[in-house]
Structures are given as C-alpha cells and as structure tokens.
Amino acid sequence: MVAQSNILSQLGVKSKGTVYMSVTPGVGLEMIQLDNTTKTVAAYACRPLDYNETLRELADYNQFKEAAQELFEELHIIPKSNVVLNMPMVSFGIAERPLILSDDAVKESLISDVEQSYVFKRHEPVVAWTDSNSSVSNDMRKILYTAIQKSVIDNISAALTEIGATLQGMEMSLTSLLKALDYSGVTETQMKDGITWNLMLIGSSGYYIISMVGKNIVDFYEEPLAIKTFEGDEIYNAICSSANITLMSYPANYLYIVSETNMVSAELIAKKINTESTVDYLDNNQFKKQELIPASLSVLPDYVLKISANSIGIAAPRTRNYPVKFDFIQKQAVTGGDDNEPVKISIGENEFEISPTSALKISGIACAILVVPVLLLMMLLPKTAQNSSAKVQEINKQIASIDDEIKKFSDGNKSNQFNEQDSIKTTLENNKTKLMSYSALGASVPKTLWITYFSAQNNGLIDIQGEAESVEDVYAFFRNMKDSLLNSNLRLHKLQLISDNVDELVEDGMLSEGYEFEITNMSEEELGMTEEVPQEEKGNNKNTKNVSKKSTPPKELPKQKSSKRSGNYAKEVTGK
C-alpha cells in the first residue's frame, strides 16, 4: 500500500483514507476502525464531549475539534482523511406522498413538516429521505425521513477542515444502531425476511417504538417522557406502563429493547414489561456487561465497554440487502471555478483527488501500457499461427496412421483373434488330463516297479519310462494305466532287459529280474523328437513332469560270463 501511494503521489494523485466517528451522548466523541474479515474492533479511542440533549446539538464545537485532533494522534492516523460521522437522532418520521410529486416537491413538503418542530424554529433543517419498501397504495408512496440542523453540519465540517480532515458523510443514530444490530448478529432471528418485530429505543427524553418487518421500517412512534424527573423504580414503572399500552397497537413476534441513556437499564425494562412477544435487550450505556463485538488486543481495556453500538454501526459496511440509509451531506453542483480543480474519485474506503493535468498523464501511461502489448501480440500472432498449423498437421498424420492400424486389426481374420472362452476351455481340459494322468500314475505303480521318466503334455500326449523286476509287473502297470485313462490310446512301446549282455543276466539257468519299459500314446516321430532332448534336460521341459522312483532301485544283477546270446530281449506290445 505504501509503494502504491508513492506511485500515485508521483502521478499527481492524492489519496485519502476514511475514518469513522460517532457523537454518542454518555460516551463522547468516538473514533473506530473495524476488521470486517473477523468482525472485530481493530482500533478505538474516545474523548469526552458535551451534547445538549434539549437543543439536540453539540454544546461546544471547539471541544469537538480538540477531541477529534486528539483521537487522530492517539490512533496514529493522518488527519488529512475523510470522516464519516454518526450524530444523535434529531427528528425522524414517516410520511405519505402522491406518486405524481417530483423528488424536489417531496423534499419541499418534508421540510415544511420538519419546520413544525421546536428544534427547527431557529435553525434551517437539512432533510434526508428514502422510499419505504412497504407501499400504501398504487397512488401513494411511503417515505422515511429524518432531519438535522444545517448549522450543525456547517460547524462540524469547519472544525474538521481546520485540522485537515474532510466531512464526507453524516448519518443519524437510528440507522447506525440498526446496522450494528445486523452486523453483530444479535438480531439475526428478528431481521429475517417476513418476521415482525418491534425495536424499543429508550433515550433521555422518552422512548421510541420502531415497527419492523425483517430489516424494513414499517412504522414509527415517539413517546416523550420526562425521565429525569423520576426517582428510583418510578422511571421503570412509568416506561413499562406506557409501553404496555403502546405495544398493543404494534403486535409482533419479537420485542428488542435498547437503552441509550445511563438512567435506564434495558435488562430491567425487559423483565418488567408485559408483552406476549419474545423479549431481548441490549444496554448501550453504563449498564453494559459485555461488548457487542470482540475488540482486538490493541484496544485499551478501559475502552472495551465504552464502544457504543452507534460507532460500530457507522463503521460497518452497508450490505446490499440493507434498505435504510440517510446521508445529510448534500452533493452540490459546482459552476465555474479553476479548470485544474481536482476531481474526487472514491474506491472502496479510499478517496483519491486527481487534477485534469494528472489525468492526462495517467491516461497516456495507461494507453502505452495497453497499446504496446497489443502491437506485440499482432506481430507474434501470424508466426504462432503458422507453428500451430504445422503441429496440427503432424498430429493429424499420426491420428490417420493409428486409425489405419486399428482398422487393420479390426478387419483381420477373425479366426486369428484371441478367444478367451476357447482358451479357458482348452486350459481346463489340459489341466484335467494332466491331473487324471498323475492320479492314475500314483494308483497304478506296483511295489517292484519304478518310474524313471514321465511326461504329460498340453495336447494330451503321455510318455512313461521305467524299470521293473518282472514282466508281470510291467503288464499289470500297463493295464491299470489303460483302465484309468480311457480314450488315451496308451500302448506298451518298449519292454526289454536292462542289460544287453545275456551272460551277465543268467544265474543258475534263470534270467535275473531287470526290465526297462516305455508306455506312451505318442507316434514314432513325436518320440524321436523327444529323444533329441538330452536326458538331463527332460526334467526342465515346461511340458513334462518328472516322477521320482517310489522305492530303492533294483538290486545290481550278478555278473556272469559272456555269452553269445545278446541283443534286445524285448518286443513291442500294442495295448487295446
């Protein structure tokens, strides 16, 4: 913000911050700043200030000027600021005017009504008014209006000007109070659309009944009471007796009582008053027990309970859906004058003063900032478009190539495509055949027979090699396998003596036990391909399984003398 202010200053733009003040009887002159993000009081200070409640104006304007200057110094705010000020309500009313009247005519008629008050017998009034949201008929308009002495505005404006500040806005306490109740959320239930409720506002000269529907003022009633003349509980009895009768004319769901005088406690009035409405209260005076909204640690503890609802309301931002606002500062049209007179521009809470000369400088800089990027963009755009076009063409080529590949696979031979159902069926059948082979093998091996090699392939081909002590064991094993594996077409492919030397096998005229065999359903070519695989690698074939011998190997046959009898003592038997 500091850097921004320095840049604006160099360009001839003078910025002003906005501060908020409130003239609050019983407290004095208040200065406040809110943190709207956290809804807390960020800074606050106050000074005593005398207010004449009979004449409804400040008693001493020099005292006001000195108090305002001290507040600027205490809160370390530059006096050259815009000031928005809350003032106690001097006059308020509701009127009906024909729709055919112009705004100027409405204003003149309201001034005539206001001048009937004793306050404006000696002082010219300044009237602020707004249309009520509740219409009376198609031909009439309902108007809310308020008024304050013109001399009060002039004297306050002059006092602020002497210390370097500018009176930017002035509102009255009733609307500030309503804004504070809305901002703090204490009347969230009452201010909902369509909810009827009454605001009872107690001052030093009587009380007011403001009839509300949500956030809209529907009716207004003022009851003057010489409160200062009562003693003790008499004041509460007098207010409650009068209010009980008045409230009968304003039926509502809720009653909210606010006391702005140190002579009356809103809490006690809420306990004593007799009404069918739901009653709640707020003490905006010395009876206050807690703050309306939290205060930051930078606020002195002695100030916390002094913060009035009126000061919070004047500093609170006005939301779009809040209908009531009065501003007594009239914007006068200026004729003639200096051609280089500064023009005020408001941005948020800050106001900037800029002269025509400075405006020309700023406009020239703004044009340069805007035009140069546009020219650069126009120069770079054709080249960028050309590069983009080349990239688009390359991407289109890639897309076309991929589409061709997809079409090639889509239009290919359907038989070559993978069929998951056929694959699952084939796998299950192969696994079933293998499991049956293993089960048959385990159930068919005799005690004197050993399996040296076993192969069960995915296509149902089986090859079994082994040794046995007798031919009967081989035939028994062969029959059992045939019976267990139906439709397997097993045959006894080989049955021969283990040794080729017959003499070594003859012992006492008998052939010693020792035969090797092979049972298979494979063809000669398939067996030939299998024999090409080295014996030591058969166990590593992914389509074969090795079965270890189930018992110890056969006894070593006694060695005999050589004999002319040699060759294969075997014959091939084909099983049925």
Number of domains in the chain: 4
Do 216 and 84 share a structural domain?
no
Do 169 and 28 share a structural domain?
yes
Bigger pLDDT: 31 vs 502: 31
Cα 48 from Cα 32, distance rounded (Å): 15
Sequence-distant (≥ 6) Cβ neighbours of residue 550 within 8 angstroms: 445, 450, 451
Question: Over the stretch 427-467, which tens digit does the pLDDT of each residue have?
Answer: 666 667 677 777 777 777 888 899 999 888 877 788 899 99
Do 363 and 223 share a structural domain?
no
Do 147 and 38 share a structural domain?
yes
CA 516 to chain CA centroid, nearest Å: 84
Name the phi and psi angles at 214, rounded to 5.
Answer: 65, -115
Quote the pLDDT of residue 15.
57
Question: Over the stretch 124-175, which tens digit does the pLDDT of each residue have?
Answer: 999 998 888 765 567 888 889 999 999 999 999 999 999 999 999 999 999 9
One-letter amino acid identity for 110?
Answer: L
> Coil, helix or strand for 10?
helix
Question: Over the stretch 82-108, which tens digit does the pLDDT of each residue have?
Answer: 999 999 999 999 998 888 888 889 889
We report the CATH number of the domain holding residue 264 as 3.30.420.40
Do 90 and 34 share a structural domain?
yes
- In a 10 Å sphere around its CB, with 0-12 CB exposed, 13-18 middle and 19+ buried, how is residue 107 labelled? middle
What strand order describes the sheet that includes 166-172? 40-47, 28-35, 18-24, 82-87, 166-172
Do 236 and 202 share a structural domain?
yes
Question: Tokens in use for 311?
Answer: 């000061």
> Coil, helix or strand for 48?
coil
Q: What are the residues facing 491 on neighbouring strands?
A: 520
Does 390 fall in a domain? Answer: no
Region 261-286: mean pLDDT is 93
Do 229 and 139 share a structural domain?
no
Q: What Cα–Cα distance (Å) separates residue 563 from each residue in 200, 362, 506, 537?
A: 140, 128, 9, 36
Quote the pLDDT of residue 537.
45
The DSSP element (H or E) to which 170 belongs, if any, is: strand 166-172
Question: Tokens in use for 451?
Answer: 């399996």
Does 96 fall in a domain? Answer: yes
Cα 463 from Cα 11, distance rounded (Å): 102
Cα 451 from Cα 467, distance rounded (Å): 6
Does 557 fall in a domain? Answer: no
Does 576 fall in a domain? Answer: no
Which DSSP letter does residue 186 get?
A: T
Do 198 and 135 share a structural domain?
no
**Residue 22 near residue 311, CB atoms below 8 Å:** yes
Region 14-33: mean pLDDT is 89
Do 229 and 174 share a structural domain?
no
Quote the pLDDT of residue 354.
58
Range of the domain at 52: 18-186+301-330+341-348
pLDDT band at 339 (very low <50, low <70, confident <90, very high): very low
Do 87 and 225 share a structural domain?
no
Q: What are the residues facing 126 on neighbouring strands?
A: 148
Cα 130 from Cα 505, distance rounded (Å): 134
The DSSP element (H or E) to which 73 belongs, if any, is: helix 61-74
Q: What Cα–Cα distance (Å) separates residue 235 from each residue in 239, 266, 314, 547?
A: 6, 12, 30, 115
Cα 88 from Cα 29, distance rounded (Å): 12
pLDDT band at 358 (very low <50, low <70, confident <90, very high): low
We report the CATH number of the domain holding residue 149 as 3.30.420
Do 173 and 238 share a structural domain?
no
Report H helices in 79-216. Answer: 103-114, 150-162, 173-184
Do 177 and 112 share a structural domain?
yes
Question: Tokens in use for 47?
Answer: 């000074």
